[in-house]
Chain A
Amino acid sequence: MMKKYFPAALILVAISLAANCQSEQLVINLSPYSVPGLLVFENPKGSIKVTGYEGNVLLATGTLRFSDTEKPAGSNMRRIEQKTVDITAEVNGNKITLFCKSTGKTVDFDIKVPRNFSLKLKSLDNGTVEIFNINGEIEVENTNGDISLGNISGSAVLNSVYGKISAAFRNVNPDSPMMFTSFEGDIEVALPGSVNAGLRLRSENGEILSDFDIKPVNRQSVVTKVDNTLVYSLEDWVTGTINKGGPEYIFKSYNGNIILKKKTDLL
């Protein structure tokens, strides 16, 4: 019962005043009860980089990409720096939600989290999303930029429109389905050679390449009723299994290639 009253996390804010970059840092000391946890973050403008490490502190650093100090201040005038990046965090049990208020400025985030953490990230504009050394469930939406994952254990649901997707898994969660979609970009995913999975792949204008031994599953027929006529057609997904088969991994692009390979190195 004591656990209930134990504070889930202590939050400290530190403003680092580096010489020529405007950045702000939020430090959250996590209690042992909030690991493994979930980090939710939606960056309105800018990149997100998340790295997992062996520790119990969540460290979020936001840096203005285009510094005000580069602009001339005028003769005899010095610019007095104002706080321009505002980072806040809401802690609810083991769920931590970060917020960034930046009034239209591009802010790049570098976040360190305990390795056993799940992530739900979104970059709305002008940035890439990079994730390394994480053991958990990862969900990323980055409409306009690339998404790259390295040294991941667990599962991922990634979604871009104009960006490239690349992901390298050290281990996969044997029960979790995964999904990778990008409209314009290539999707490149590396999985352990021993992975058991079911596949559904489709790229309208791109190619599908793989060094896995994929056993094709017969395409199912789809019945549709057009006006008063029944039309039988084959479904347009390529379906197959790797090794013994398992949870479904779905890959979909329109103009990009889909590359599915056996993981040889970490990235």
Chain B
Amino acid sequence: MKRKDHREKLIDLLHGNLSPEEEKEIIAGLERSGMSRQEIEDLRSVSRLIDETPSPGPSERMDKRFYTMLEEEKKNSLLGEPEIKTKKLSFVSLLTPGMRIAAGIALFLLGWFTSGWFGSSTPRDRQIADLSGEIKQLKETLVLTMMQQSSTVERIKAVNMVSEFETADSLIIERLIGVLNHDSNDNVRLLALEALVRYSSVPVVRDGLIGSIGNQTSPLVQLRLADIMLALNEKRAAPEFQKVLQDARLNYSVRGKMNETVIALL
């Protein structure tokens, strides 16, 4: 038998892949070349140990970190614009590394020259403006997500956050009107109403408030709506209140207030 052949067999022996006859042959050969039986056995047990040692998998913490990262990434991609992202990716992947470096240098030079042309203060101001715009956008997205939470506390937080905004965009207003009409908790509805009152000069908000009169069962919300419509002298609300007044179960105090409001408005 050739020497090379023996070497291959030696590895097979350590892994225990040999037939008993071959094993005997190799061991005999090894013994002949001056290796004791004990040494061979030691070698085999070490090799077995190595085989049996489990390769370490990711720890539980790492798992968790990965999944939270994945969740965040998922959320981001839900909120952002996925189409643009994929387009960008495929474009970049077309470039070879060399072209990427060249493009990077070109971009850097372009940036340097444009900053020289436009002066140093304007881009900075623009950056700050961009940043504060981004923060506002981020907050709005957060509010919109929080408004859909099943936890009432989270929804209260969301509506309270809207009250901190100086202006609210149409989507936030639309969702607030949605909360006022459909939230399962009357307390959250009351808060949404308080938040909307600040924008009562916006026609959409005013229409939303009038439209919500018939959807309310909480006396606190009904009464507040009557107060607001009276303060705004909103005549279109009168027929809505008249409809509500036909409900026999209407709270006594609310009935009184609504009657007054209808008379004052007509």
Query: What is the interface of chain A, defined by CB distance below 8 A to chain B?
Result: 120, 137, 139, 141, 155, 157, 159, 161, 176-177, 179, 181, 183, 204, 222-227, 231, 233, 248, 250, 252, 254-255
A179-B220 contact given A159-B186, A222-B198, CB 8 Å threshold: no
Asked if B213 CB lies within 8 Å of chain A CBs, one says: no
Q: What is the number of residues of chain B that contact chain A, defined by CB distance less than 8 Å?
A: 24
Q: Can you report 13 A-B residue pairs in the complex whose CB atoms are below 8 A from each other?
A: A120-B152, A137-B152, A157-B185, A181-B186, A183-B251, A224-B201, A225-B200, A226-B231, A226-B233, A227-B233, A231-B231, A248-B160, A254-B223
Measured between alpha carbons, how far is A68 from B183 in the docked complex, in Å?
A: 39
Residue of A179, A204, A224, A255 touching B156 (CB-CB under 8 A): A179
Point out the residues of chain B lying under 8 angstroms from A137, CB to CB.
151-153
Identity of the chain A residue whose Cβ is nearest the Cβ of B200 in the assembled complex: A224
Q: Is the CB of A159 within 8 A of B185?
A: yes
Q: Is the CB of A141 within 8 A of B223?
A: no
Q: Is the CB of B153 within 8 A of A177?
A: yes
Asked if B187 CB lies within 8 Å of chain A CBs, one says: yes
B56, chain A: closest CB distance, angstroms: 16
Q: Using a CB-CB cutoff of 8 Å, which residues 170-186 of chain B contact chain A?
A: 185-186
Measured between alpha carbons, how far is A250 from B153 in the docked complex, in Å?
A: 12
A44, chain B: closest CB distance, angstroms: 16
A126, chain B: closest CB distance, angstroms: 15
Point out the residues of chain A lying under 8 angstroms from B200, CB to CB.
224-225
Point out the residues of chain B lying under 8 angstroms from A224, CB to CB.
197, 200-201, 231-232
Identity of the chain A residue whose Cβ is nearest the Cβ of B228 in the assembled complex: A224
Point out the residues of chain B lying under 8 angstroms from A139, CB to CB.
152-153, 185
Q: Is the CB of B220 within 8 A of A252?
A: yes
Point out the residues of chain A lying under 8 angstroms from B233, CB to CB.
226-227
Contact with A along B158-173 (1 / 0, CB 8 A): 0010000000000000
B112, chain A: closest CB distance, angstroms: 46
Contact with A along B30-58 (1 / 0, CB 8 A): 00000000000000000000000000000
Point out the residues of chain A lying under 8 angstroms from B7, CB to CB.
none
Q: Is the CB of B197 within 8 A of A157?
A: no
Asked if B147 CB lies within 8 Å of chain A CBs, one says: no
Point out the residues of chain B lying under 8 angstroms from A233, CB to CB.
231
Measured between alpha carbons, how far is A233 from B200 in the docked complex, in Å?
A: 14
Measured between alpha carbons, how far is A122 from B83 in the docked complex, in Å?
A: 44
Point out the residues of chain B lying under 8 angstroms from A226, CB to CB.
231-233
Residue of A141, A248, A252 touching B185 (CB-CB under 8 A): A141
Q: Is the CB of B157 within 8 A of A177?
A: yes
9 closest A-B pairs (Cβ-Cβ)? A225-B201, A183-B219, A179-B187, A139-B152, A157-B152, A177-B156, A226-B233, A159-B187, A176-B153
A250-B201 contact given A141-B186, A226-B232, CB 8 Å threshold: no
Contact with A along B215-229 (1 / 0, CB 8 A): 000111001000000
A254-B198 contact given A157-B153, A161-B251, A179-B187, CB 8 Å threshold: no
